[in-house]
Structure 1
């Protein structure tokens, strides 16, 4: 068995750090300019949530299939395919001038969310001969997330600077170049995972879960458009939930299922998936509201900070720096407390950070301090959840398990995006008639939902997960 050294970690992570740097750049670059994109496309600030929600919906659809394909035909191969799709979609954004076309390209760009689960599966596979395999994976995940957040910081700062000085179509061209470079880095620099299971993809299961997700998220979109009193919208949401039943029955009978639903019975894995869904509400659903709140002019609307694009990117940069700190601290805290308690602490920090927004949101400093507290917990969770799933999953389903953390996270983000978009769009007040800012009551809803969901996740981790979960020799991995 090899011991954990810096050289061993670099050998495991390798060029994957650049992939996450690119992923972070994509996630950070657009955030300071979301209000500019809304003005360019002649839509309301609340409509920015359509971009977020549609990308999250696609992510929830493709991650299970791509993660399973990674286990079957090779994680590097699927990583390369997904990067090619992301590059094409990103390069298309500067050439679209309508909201519908921009939304289509933006949605397709969301394939990049499968990168981190595939990378964690690669790392888990390649670290099989090392001591403390789960700790190696956790530390490597911390390095990847640090690279991700470094990329997000760079992207946010550069995006905020460029949007104040250059035409928006020129600004939108930059990420496509970086993703294209990333494709060749993966092609020539990343080694394939040694274990490939082969087999055939469960297309029936994929179709059933796709219909369920489409119906569920489509119903949420109808609720946002038509209001909470629309019975048709609620019916579509219910249909999406009910479609999970035939999917689960099919998967239980299938010899090589797309998603082994028995994983959701695991005392160790089920709370991880629940935590990922609840965490997704803040880390994914709250990004656009944070940016638009910072950009809202308090002299016109009576709330907001009124920052420029670059100053907005600085606030986002502080948030991302705190995520780097959280990601790098997690392995140390996990060794001191146990991984389970470290996850509990991280979720509580997210809850506290967003709860502080309710009384403290009047100044730039208050907003930055709040998001940095939440950011430390968020960074730890981004790094820890895929690693925890890999440690608790069966050896043949690491890709599926890590992919499920992302799928449940994106579903949580999609739900939150619909809720937040509805809350921000309705009850607009405090500004001139026809104003484009979201309502203050909507922002309160965003902060409270993010806080409550994080505390619920912490409670699930504390009271449901076995005490020795996510370590190298858990007592029970999957109940079945």
Structure 2
């Protein structure tokens, strides 16, 4: 009875947070089947869709460190409320503009939803510590949240793909905005605040330094895409961003209450997790738009692609997301049998296999579907595992920061990959005379091959890195908890 009583409030919070992740899934799945329609409405090429993804990921990378730290300081629920309000406001702008700059700005601001999952994991961890076995409880809860996320993504993708074929784009784009508004009130009235807050003041100097570093790097990559790889300004911005990152690290080491405790990157348990998160972002974030536009490319016009319509594309995405749900829900049970470290390695291996299979097998719907299912199983496990593993390995006062860092580093990896993939796809825009008259809008096959090879190889590198993680990391074993306390 005492255990049931102690877990009751935690289960209720997980239930409300599952609705939040369901809404997050709607945002992540709803737009994907209609990216080509959005591109035509804005008058841009398929390759330029990566600008939407890249700018949203860049802003997300700036937002997560600040909101994760503020969550530890002033409350994880409070920051959930603020991020949801901003996301809702941005979502209501999208249906009412056909200006690419305005749409781009609103799309970027909508990216505030990326802070939801790390804030939720930190909130659950802070409450599960009182119930005992925080690592296992957080793993189970993370699996439930990610399953809700992917169910939302499936619902969003299926609804978006079906509605875009029968309704005007403006009407269709209103649906996510309404869903986020409902989510705002669920958080406001249904979620209780974290019991333990650290207080303190936000490291504004550190925030400015890391923001300019990320802007410089992603800006340099964007200019590379526009001006070519021989552009000196682009490379200068990238070098400046790296230099600012080094300055940020030195400043944080001397700060009493840093925005990001960079010493966590030296932890034998946390360092591979952060690197894996960055490499995972390449495929789970950077490859989303290319997969959608490849499926929509007409093989009769361009010689490759699947030629799917909106609903067919949403079905493809839906099966991929079902595989992610299976991976997320199976993570905790597999981890109990094989240890979290081995499970993470297996998940990364599935991602590598799935994307590398695209290189020889991409000509039919069935081949593409098979590859996405394999990659989806591994991706779902990683989405659930990475923030939970970071929470288990982090010092108790840095839970929000550690879980936020997995998302932030993953977002940076996705932003960089999005820029690189945009360059690859735009390198040889393919002309054609499709029924929509969209001549010269399809990305190159060599660009798509580059996307799949990079996604596969980065996942393979993660497998090697995770082999060096301590055996009992991310578990409730006393040895792991002792290491986390001193790391």
Unaligned 5+ residue runs, structure 2? none
The separation in 2 between residues aligned to 1:370 and 1:10, in whole angstroms, is 35
Pairwise CA distance, 1:235: 1.3
Q: Secondary structure at the match of 2:483?
A: coil
The separation in 1 between residues aligned to 2:258 and 2:99, in whole angstroms, is 40
Pairwise CA distance, 1:77: 0.3
- CA deviation profile, 1:46-100 (whole Å, cap 9, x unmatched): 0000000000000000100000000000000000000000000001111111110
The separation in 2 between residues aligned to 1:5 and 1:314, in whole angstroms, is 41
Q: Secondary structure at the match of 1:127?
A: helix
Pairwise CA distance, 1:14: 2.5
- Aligned pairs, number: 479
The separation in 2 between residues aligned to 1:73 and 1:92, in whole angstroms, is 29
Q: Give matches, 1:360-379, under 5 Å.
A: 360-379=361-380
The aligned residue for residue 180 of structure 1 is 181
The separation in 1 between residues aligned to 2:428 and 2:440, in whole angstroms, is 12
Pairwise CA distance, 1:478: 7.0
* TM-score under structure 2 length normalisation: 0.96
1:258 aligns with 2:259: yes
Q: Is the 8 A contact 1:76 1:186 kept in 2?
A: yes
Pairwise CA distance, 1:429: 3.5
Shift >4 Å, 4+ stretches: 3-9
The aligned residue for residue 167 of structure 2 is 166
The aligned residue for residue 465 of structure 1 is 469
The separation in 2 between residues aligned to 1:235 and 1:4, in whole angstroms, is 58
Question: Which sits farther off after the overlay, 49-58 or 466-475?
Answer: 466-475
Q: Give matches, 1:309-348, under 5 Å.
A: 309-348=310-349
Match of residue 448, structure 2, among 443, 450, 466? 443
Pairwise CA distance, 1:430: 6.5
Question: Which sits farther off after the overlay, 223-232 or 142-151?
Answer: 223-232
Q: Secondary structure at the match of 1:438?
A: coil
Q: Is the 8 A contact 1:3 1:130 kept in 2?
A: no
The aligned residue for residue 352 of structure 1 is 353
Q: Is the 8 A contact 1:90 1:105 kept in 2?
A: yes
The separation in 2 between residues aligned to 1:106 and 1:38, in whole angstroms, is 13
The separation in 1 between residues aligned to 2:295 and 2:62, in whole angstroms, is 32
- CA deviation profile, 1:176-215 (whole Å, cap 9, x unmatched): 0000000000000001000111111000000010110010
Q: Secondary structure at the match of 1:172?
A: helix
Pairwise CA distance, 1:5: 10
Q: Is the 8 A contact 1:157 1:310 kept in 2?
A: yes
Pairwise CA distance, 1:6: 8.5
The aligned residue for residue 418 of structure 2 is 417
Match of residue 477, structure 1, among 478, 481, 484? 484
Pairwise CA distance, 1:428: 2.6
Pairwise CA distance, 1:368: 0.7
Q: Give matches, 1:186-201, under 5 Å.
A: 186-201=187-202
Q: Give matches, 1:202-213, under 5 Å.
A: 202-213=203-214
The separation in 2 between residues aligned to 1:344 and 1:379, in whole angstroms, is 13
Pairwise CA distance, 1:477: 2.6
- CA deviation profile, 1:128-151 (whole Å, cap 9, x unmatched): 122321010000000000000000
Pairwise CA distance, 1:244: 1.0
The separation in 2 between residues aligned to 1:318 and 1:215, in whole angstroms, is 37
The aligned residue for residue 233 of structure 1 is 234
Change beyond 3 A, Cα 1:112–1:400: same
The separation in 2 between residues aligned to 1:245 and 1:67, in whole angstroms, is 21
Change beyond 3 A, Cα 1:255–1:167: same
The separation in 1 between residues aligned to 2:228 and 2:368, in whole angstroms, is 30
The aligned residue for residue 268 of structure 1 is 269
The separation in 2 between residues aligned to 1:232 and 1:62, in whole angstroms, is 26
- CA deviation profile, 1:84-117 (whole Å, cap 9, x unmatched): 0000000111111111000000000000000000
Question: Which sits farther off after the overlay, 7-16 or 42-51?
Answer: 7-16
* TM-score under structure 1 length normalisation: 0.98
The separation in 1 between residues aligned to 2:440 and 2:258, in whole angstroms, is 50
Pairwise CA distance, 1:7: 5.4
Unaligned 5+ residue runs, structure 1? none
The separation in 2 between residues aligned to 1:450 and 1:63, in whole angstroms, is 23
Pairwise CA distance, 1:249: 1.3
Pairwise CA distance, 1:9: 5.9
Aligned alpha-carbon RMSD (Å): 1.5
The separation in 1 between residues aligned to 2:5 and 2:249, in whole angstroms, is 40
1:128 aligns with 2:129: yes
Change beyond 3 A, Cα 1:12–1:127: farther
The aligned residue for residue 295 of structure 1 is 296
Q: Is the 8 A contact 1:31 1:291 kept in 2?
A: yes
Change beyond 3 A, Cα 1:158–1:124: same
Pairwise CA distance, 1:227: 1.2
